A and B are shown apart, each in its own frame.
Chain A
Amino acid sequence: MRRKRKQIVVILLLLVVLSFLLLLSDTLGNKKDKGIYNISIITTGKNSESLMIMKQGIDQAASEMNVNISFVTLSEDNNYIEQTELITREIKNRADAIIISPVDYEKMAEPIENAMKNIPVILIESTVKSERVLPSISCDNYKLGISLAEEMVSNGKDKSNIAIVKNNLECSSVKERYDGFMSVMNNTQNNCTFWQISGNKQDVYHNEAKKLLEGNNVDVIVTFDSDMLEGVAQVKRDLGSVNKEKSSIEIYGTGSTSRIISFLEDKVINATAIQNEFNIGYLAVKTAKYKINGKNIDNSTISSTVINTKNMYSEENQKLLFPFVR
């Protein structure tokens, strides 16, 4: 009798302790799920203005998914050595994941593959040469190139002199856009010349572009990255005030900084192909979070559109082009 009672007491005690533990683990478990992750984002250059919209997507995702974002820019555009160093540094700084826009298709392959052994790495915009399927968020850059070319052709430029700025071709996104563009060009009677604008400092580079523009007789200039587009457009505007002839040169490019938009509005730039950068940022963080938790998510493709002066204020494009002020 006494022993039985003791047993009952022990069993009851155990039950109480068990239920208490359950309660604790439940609350603890909930907290664990809400853990804050640190995600580092490494860009291709020093200019963060071109990343404004993407940053908004990142911020939106960060606030929704409880993620700490550290935004790392390079001190010099497209410097793969620095980017490699930054990857190492961020891993050392205990980043849970890295979102990177690789500057070089070939040279960044190894550092990124190495980094992936430690933490998830998400590629945005561009990719690297790798046998593995890397998580990457970008639009179909080849298609974007084609769209841009078609926009140009539809503006009646099929027998013109076209200057193509070939900077940064080592970056896969630029390369793909270029390839896409060229695939259309090869079917037209356009005469393509290729420019390489060298120099890193703003004024050197400006002068270089100016010289090229003055010294050549071209009808169209095409660029595949936003910095270059801004630069060329600026040069055109500067020259246009002096030389009326030069203001008839049409400029096509990619990117959607507010300067590009104002150039577009002023008809300095004829058309720019843009991708939904907000989505890139948002999905990159989302993918990173999924990867940290060991879940898989499909590589998503981002939509892209060509914006010209006429359609820039259409309801759709407005939302794509102009970030909400927050």
Chain B
Amino acid sequence: MKDLMKLKIQKLIKRCRDTSIQHIISVSFTLISVIGMVIVGGALYFRFINSTEFMVSENNKAMLEQVNLNLDNYLRNMMKVSDTTYYSVIKKKDLATENINKEMDLLYETNKDSLISISVFSDRGEVISASPVGQLKSSVNPRESEWFSKALVRKENLHFSTPHVQNLFVDPSYKYKWVVSLSRAVELTNNKRITSGVLLVDINFSGIEQICKSINVGKSGYVYLVDREGEIIYHPRQQLIYSNLIEENNKEQATYEDGNHMETFQDEKRLVTVKTVGYTGWKIVGITPISDITSDYQQISLFAVFIMFFAVFILVFLNMFVSSRIANPIKALEKSVKKLENGVKDVDISISGSYEIQHLGKAIRSMVNQMHTLMDNIMIEQESKRKSELDALQAQINPHFLYNTLDSIIWMIENENYDGAIIMVTALARLFRISLSKGKNIITVRDEIEHARNYLTIQNIRYKNKFTYDIEVDERTLNLASIKLIIQPLIENAIYHGMEFMGGDGEILVKTYIKEEDLYIDVVDNGLGMLQEVADTLLTNETKIEKKSSGIGLKNVHERIQLYFGKDYGLKIYSEPDEGTTISIHMPCVDSYEMKKRRK
């Protein structure tokens, strides 16, 4: 198993090594960017979640602080009303002689929005003064009320009740208002005698409600108010709680310390922020369901994923583009180099892409060009070397031939055959003159024929007329260019192979003519001949140069012609055993004058 893994990894690495540069660039860039993206996205996301929770709880705190401030302000205001009523009105007057209604009315009027009533009761529960003026309901006994007894028990303190319906006074419009009673024990001066009583300020509950209602903590979060014992004073869904339609964890929350708490209530996790209101001991409780905070997470995470997707997509595109921009020129360069390797000539080395690659391309291109010129030069040099070698060969005259000829001349002179000797010497002289031809390689057909004629003359004498020869010349061919010393080897060949063993009736015909605008020079003999198959091999096979001949073989001639005029030209051998052989020289028709000019 382990080995298999290793093998696979190795394979993968190998594949990675073998892949193209574009692949490597785009894949690795994409991989890196995706990883980076995921890391950054994830980090941001978690950071966001953390900070959101922190922010929500901080925000809740601040909100509650605000509520607290407002509420405190409001309650303080109410307490001030109570204080004013007590210290500036009740304490200063003797109720037996003076009426406090006017002052009470004034105080009520100025705080009408937040008050329902201000009233003073004696310790027996009788109304001493009330504003607005009202008739106590017959069924009501204030002494049974909580606010009355509590105020008397805790003498120095102001007492805030839980919200209840104000039912003290007759209201002709049958309105029953919810109030929070602020009550305190007061000392009443009655005929200079001090008795105790209760001052009641009924605070309009809607004022408190307004303060808590306007606060918004989260989507479905809310703020509510409990008293010391956990009784709800205000709750946005108060009526529902009273009707047992929903429940609130108020009893437990009332015991919480100020600050943020997490609790699970009715299977719902929620953030509870508690703040105690000064003096009253009330607690403001802010509730934010955690699902409120987390409900955004899903959307945000979705959004984040989408953004990541989008970014990755764009990055992949970008990477593809960039990598192709980098890799394509290199690939093109590599392609042309590969072509070069395969020996394709005239490869156009592509030059594109960035500066470095362009430079590379240029360098390779100049290198290739240099290589081509070098190769051409080498070829030219080689060719010229060969030519010079051939020329040197051609310049060689078989010494055997010279010796034989000179021997013949000597022999003639000895026999006093001076005419023959003269002819012989003249022919030899001409032969040499033409064969030298001032070192030129190209001569006219006329000279070439002359050379052949002289050669034939000499050989004819030497072979004591063993053969006859004839030269047929087309007048048009005489001034055409020919390569020097190409007919002589053919004649030599004809004499040695065709005539030598024949008994006196050998015939050699040299013929020049133009066919299809090409120059032909045929050397025809009626000698032994050979099989056509053998004849065909003569020009291709490396045949041994016979010592007897002038040393310039047929193949040599053939190659020389091809070297000068191209592969289309050269020798053709037609032969038949016992019939004879025709060797045909094929050359283009080039005027020797023009040839000279061209060479210049």
Known A-B contacts A23-B302, A265-B139; the reply to A258 vs B165 at CB < 8 A is: no
Residues of B near A283 (CB, < 8 A) are 245
Decide if B245 touches A322 in the complex (CB within 8 Å).
no
Size of the B side of the interface (Cβ < 8 Å), in residues, is 34
Other-chain contact of B137, A19, A265, A321 (Cβ < 8 Å): A265
Known A-B contacts A19-B305, A19-B306, A60-B237; the reply to A325 vs B177 at CB < 8 A is: yes
Residues of B near A261 (CB, < 8 A) are 174, 176
CB within 8 Å of A: which of B163-212? 164-165, 167, 171, 174-178, 205-206, 209
Distance to closest chain A CB from B71 (angstroms): 18
Other-chain contact of A320, B138, B237, B240, B242 (Cβ < 8 Å): B242
Contact with B along A267-300 (1 / 0, CB 8 A): 1000000001011001100000000000000000
Q: In the complex the two chains form, what is the Cα distance from A60 to B241 in whole Å?
A: 12
Contact with A along B196-231 (1 / 0, CB 8 A): 000000000110010000000000000000000000
Interface hub of B138, B139, B206, B299 (most chain A Cβ within 10 A)? B139
Known A-B contacts A15-B313, A262-B174, A322-B176; the reply to A282 vs B245 at CB < 8 A is: yes
Contact with B along A286-326 (1 / 0, CB 8 A): 00000000000000000100000100010100111111111
User: Is B310 on the interface with A (CB-CB < 8 A)?
Assistant: yes
Q: In the complex the two chains form, what is the Cα distance from A321 to B242 in whole Å?
A: 11
Decide if B243 touches A322 in the complex (CB within 8 Å).
no
Decide if A276 touches B176 in the complex (CB within 8 Å).
no
Distance to closest chain A CB from B246 (angstroms): 10
User: Is A32 on the interface with B (CB-CB < 8 A)?
Assistant: no
CB within 8 Å of A: which of B124-181? 137-139, 164-165, 167, 171, 174-178
Other-chain contact of B239, A15, A57, A313 (Cβ < 8 Å): A57
Main secondary structure on A side of the interface with B: helix
Residues of B near A265 (CB, < 8 A) are 137, 139, 167
Known A-B contacts A261-B174, A278-B243, A309-B139; the reply to A318 vs B302 at CB < 8 A is: no
Residues of B near A279 (CB, < 8 A) are 243, 245
Known A-B contacts A23-B303, A325-B206; the reply to A258 vs B176 at CB < 8 A is: yes
User: Is A259 on the interface with B (CB-CB < 8 A)?
Assistant: yes
User: Is B405 on the interface with A (CB-CB < 8 A)?
Assistant: no
Residues of B near A326 (CB, < 8 A) are 206, 209
Residues of A near B305 (CB, < 8 A) are 19
Other-chain contact of A60, B137, B239, B309, B320 (Cβ < 8 Å): B239
Distance to closest chain A CB from B149 (angstroms): 15
Q: In the complex the two chains form, what is the Cα distance from A322 to B174 in whole Å?
A: 11
Known A-B contacts A22-B306, A26-B302, A325-B178; the reply to A60 vs B240 at CB < 8 A is: yes
User: Is A27 on the interface with B (CB-CB < 8 A)?
Assistant: yes
Distance to closest chain B CB from A273 (angstroms): 17
The closest CB in chain A to the CB of B163 belongs to A324
Decide if B238 touches A324 in the complex (CB within 8 Å).
yes
Residues of B near A309 (CB, < 8 A) are 139
Decide if B205 touches A325 in the complex (CB within 8 Å).
yes
Distance to closest chain A CB from B554 (angstroms): 59
User: Is B316 on the interface with A (CB-CB < 8 A)?
Assistant: yes
Decide if B320 touches A27 in the complex (CB within 8 Å).
no
User: Is A71 on the interface with B (CB-CB < 8 A)?
Assistant: no
Q: In the complex the two chains form, what is the Cα distance from A57 to B239 in whole Å?
A: 8
Residues of B near A324 (CB, < 8 A) are 178, 205, 209, 238-239
Known A-B contacts A15-B313, A324-B205, A326-B206; the reply to A318 vs B177 at CB < 8 A is: no
Decide if A267 touches B302 in the complex (CB within 8 Å).
no
Decide if A258 touches B302 in the complex (CB within 8 Å).
no
Interface hub of A5, A15, A60 (most chain B Cβ within 10 A)? A60
Q: In the complex the two chains form, what is the Cα distance from A276 to B243 in whole Å?
A: 7
Other-chain contact of A12, B138, B175, B206, B313 (Cβ < 8 Å): B313
User: Is A16 on the interface with B (CB-CB < 8 A)?
Assistant: yes
Distance to closest chain B CB from A174 (angstroms): 23
Q: In the complex the two chains form, what is the Cα distance from A279 to B244 in whole Å?
A: 9
Distance to closest chain B CB from A46 (angstroms): 19
Q: In the complex the two chains form, what is the Cα distance from A258 to B167 in whole Å?
A: 12
Decide if B167 touches A313 in the complex (CB within 8 Å).
yes
Contact with A along B310-352 (1 / 0, CB 8 A): 1001001100100000000000000000000000000000000
Distance to closest chain B CB from A131 (angstroms): 30
Decide if A318 touches B164 in the complex (CB within 8 Å).
yes
Decide if B174 touches A267 in the complex (CB within 8 Å).
no
Distance to closest chain B CB from A27 (angstroms): 7
User: Is A20 on the interface with B (CB-CB < 8 A)?
Assistant: yes
Distance to closest chain A CB from B324 (angstroms): 9
Other-chain contact of B165, A23, A276, A318 (Cβ < 8 Å): A318
CB within 8 Å of B: which of A1-24? 5, 8-9, 12-13, 15-16, 19-20, 22-23
CB within 8 Å of B: which of A228-284? 258-259, 261-262, 265-267, 276, 278-279, 282-283
Decide if A26 touches B237 in the complex (CB within 8 Å).
no
Q: In the complex the two chains form, what is the Cα distance from A319 to B163 in whole Å?
A: 10
Known A-B contacts A262-B174, A325-B206; the reply to A16 vs B240 at CB < 8 A is: no
Decide if B139 touches A267 in the complex (CB within 8 Å).
yes
Decide if A5 touches B320 in the complex (CB within 8 Å).
yes
Known A-B contacts A15-B309, A27-B299; the reply to A319 vs B139 at CB < 8 A is: no
User: Is A56 on the interface with B (CB-CB < 8 A)?
Assistant: yes
Residues of B near A13 (CB, < 8 A) are 313
CB within 8 Å of A: which of B25-49? none
Decide if B245 touches A258 in the complex (CB within 8 Å).
no
Q: In the complex the two chains form, what is the Cα distance from A266 to B174 in whole Å?
A: 11
Q: In the complex the two chains form, what is the Cα distance from A247 to B375 in whole Å?
A: 141
The closest CB in chain A to the CB of B239 belongs to A278
CB within 8 Å of A: which of B571-594? none
Residues of A near B303 (CB, < 8 A) are 23
Q: In the complex the two chains form, what is the Cα distance from A320 to B244 in whole Å?
A: 11
Residues of A near B240 (CB, < 8 A) are 60, 278, 282
Residues of B near A9 (CB, < 8 A) are 317
Residues of A near B209 (CB, < 8 A) are 324, 326
Q: In the complex the two chains form, what is the Cα distance from A258 to B174 in whole Å?
A: 6
Q: In the complex the two chains form, what is the Cα distance from A30 to B313 in whole Å?
A: 27
Top 5 nearest A-B pairs (CB, nearest first) are A319-B242, A258-B174, A262-B174, A322-B176, A279-B243
| 28 intermolecular pairs with C-beta atoms under 8 Å apart | A5-B320, A9-B317, A12-B317, A15-B313, A16-B309, A19-B305, A23-B302, A30-B299, A57-B243, A60-B239, A258-B175, A261-B176, A262-B171, A265-B137, A265-B139, A266-B138, A278-B243, A279-B245, A282-B243, A282-B245, A309-B139, A313-B164, A313-B165, A318-B165, A320-B242, A321-B165, A324-B178, A324-B239
- Given A8-B316, A22-B306, A318-B165, 10 extra CB contacts under 8 A: A16-B310, A16-B313, A23-B306, A262-B171, A265-B137, A266-B138, A267-B139, A278-B239, A319-B242, A322-B176
Could you list which residues of chain A lie within 8 angstroms of chain B, going by C-beta atoms?
A: 5, 8-9, 12-13, 15-16, 19-20, 22-23, 26-27, 30, 56-57, 60, 64, 258-259, 261-262, 265-267, 276, 278-279, 282-283, 303, 309, 313, 315, 318-326
